[in-house]
Structure 1
Amino acid sequence: MKPTRNLFKLSLAAPLALALAACGGEEGDVESGDAIAAIPAPDGTNWGDTVTVSEQDGYILGNPDAPLKLVEYASHTCGACANFAMTGKPGIKEYVATGVVSFEQRNLVRDPIDLTIATLVRCGQKEQMQVLSDQGWQNLEQTFAAVNQNGAAYEAAGNMPLEQRFVQIAQAAGLIEFFAARGLSADQQRACLADAEKIEAIANNSSAQAEELGINATPTFLLNGRKLDVNTWKDIEPLLQRAGARQE
């Protein structure tokens, strides 16, 4: 993974090619275990609405102390990540509801559009981060189409100061209007995208964790810290069950 300083200098050309990048993890079997009994949420709450920000700056859905911790390293310009958001998230939420499984989403930043969306989905309440991410993935083709249509404005962003660059990228990609329709005001978005320190922190965390864990593709999944060699829900669900997870 390139250092953060190079992330901000990434070429803005050919964004459509980014969706075709390789995906997947490298290793890891999962130990089998007995079925784990459901863990009740605190009175007046439910695990499906519980969101915690982790020490790794990821967003945890569910019981933060769940015995089975599933982590996804994802990119917002990854087609396979978009597919997982549609095919895997509904099933994951059923396991999260038991309190036995938590699901944490972390960033593996690959390009300027990815970093822009990663900033925007964190711009509101923490409970909305994964929701907005999923909506952004559903809109991925339209995002790339807007960038291609507004190519000159997108390319010009690369020469702008950081506090202006990501606002320009978001405008060229049609993201300001998209997220405004989903509860983030245009002014709120521009303020987040002008916060160079916050944006650099997202990129720094991505680079450091990718180097530490040897993660170089998206989506990559960890289960209790062990990197999995699968990246689709049909392959991940049996591993959760083998480890002791059950649906409600």
Structure 2
Amino acid sequence: MKRLIATAALALAVLTGPVQAQDAPDTSQITEMTMGPEDAPVTLIEYASFTCPHCASFHAGPFKQLKADYIEDGQLHFIYRDVYFDRFGLWASMVARCGGEEKFFGIADMIYDQQRDWTQGEPAEIAGNLRRIGKVAGLEPDTLEACLNDQDKAQALVAWYQQNAEADNVTSTPTLIINGEKHSNMAYDDLKAIIDDKLAE
């Protein structure tokens, strides 16, 4: 399980290049990626990284079950929040977000499903792998390049992640916040029991 070790300033420098001290990225335009009705009785926030193997496993298993059991029938409001351990996770997020809310979760599924493949190689190869995923998902090459080269968006995303992670005291991924209570990764049966208890309250 990966640990969060970077401060906001260090994260910005590592992921997006040097940032002037007076710069204050505008996070107000960052879109929260969600599924299910906002007024559902249970809200689950997942903090995850596209380069985290445990997160890939969560999306291959428990997340699909969550959708079938709770999200699709309106019992659960799901919120996905990025955590950036490295620039590759940030690049993946920028590709996933490039298609907007409508395409985000579909592209995210592809990125997680192919995690072992696209994360291999030098940075240029990894960027190329992500571009291929974006193109397969239907993103136009020009649109994809614009998304990947949007430095203002990159800095805003990193600042937004750091704000969220500090507010919820996130120290590893995946971290689940269920109706305000923080939980670490767990088997689906245990997750289901917590959700059922919340629904019964």
> Under a length normalisation based on structure 2, what TM-score does the superposition of the two structures give?
0.83
Contact 2:47 2:173 (8 Å CA) reproduced: yes
Corresponding position: 1:179 with 2:134 = yes
Find 2:36's aligned residue among 62, 74, 93: 62
Contact 2:30 2:156 (8 Å CA) reproduced: no
**Aligned-residue offset at 1:228:** 1.5
Find 1:101's aligned residue among 70, 76, 84: 76
> Partner amino acid for 2:80?
Q
Gaps spanning 5+ residues in structure 2: where? Answer: 16-27
Find the aligned partners of 2:83 and 2:64 in 1 and give their Cα distance: 22
> Partner amino acid for 1:71?
I
Contact 1:121 1:129 (8 Å CA) reproduced: yes
**Aligned-residue offset at 1:57:** 4.1
| Residue 11 of structure 2: aligned partner | 7
Q: Percent identity?
A: 27
| Larger mean Cα displacement after TM superposition, 214-223 or 84-93 | 84-93
| Residue 219 of structure 1: aligned partner | 174
| Residue 115 of structure 2: aligned partner | 140
| Residue 155 of structure 2: aligned partner | 200
> Under a length normalisation based on structure 1, what TM-score does the superposition of the two structures give?
0.68
> Partner amino acid for 2:99?
G
> How many aligned positions are there?
183
Q: 1:175 to 1:141 in 2, by over 3 A?
A: same
Find the aligned partners of 2:89 and 2:163 in 1 and give their Cα distance: 17
Find the aligned partners of 2:65 and 2:34 in 1 and give their Cα distance: 16
Render the CA deviation track for 1:119-165: whole Å, top value 9, x for unaligned: 110001302112211110110111122xx2xx2xx2xx7xxxxxxxx
**Aligned-residue offset at 1:99:** 1.3
Contact 2:46 2:174 (8 Å CA) reproduced: yes
Equivalent residue of 1:184, what SS?
coil
Equivalent residue of 2:99, what SS?
coil
> Partner amino acid for 2:85?
R
Find 2:47's aligned residue among 66, 73, 79: 73
Q: 1:125 to 1:55 in 2, by over 3 A?
A: closer
Corresponding position: 1:237 with 2:195 = no
Contact 1:4 1:200 (8 Å CA) reproduced: no
Render the CA deviation track for 1:36-65: whole Å, top value 9, x for unaligned: xxxxxxxxxxxxxxxxxx998431101011
Q: 1:55 to 1:91 in 2, by over 3 A?
A: farther
> Partner amino acid for 2:116?
E
Q: Which runs of 4+ in 1 moved over 6 A?
A: none
Contact 1:74 1:106 (8 Å CA) reproduced: yes
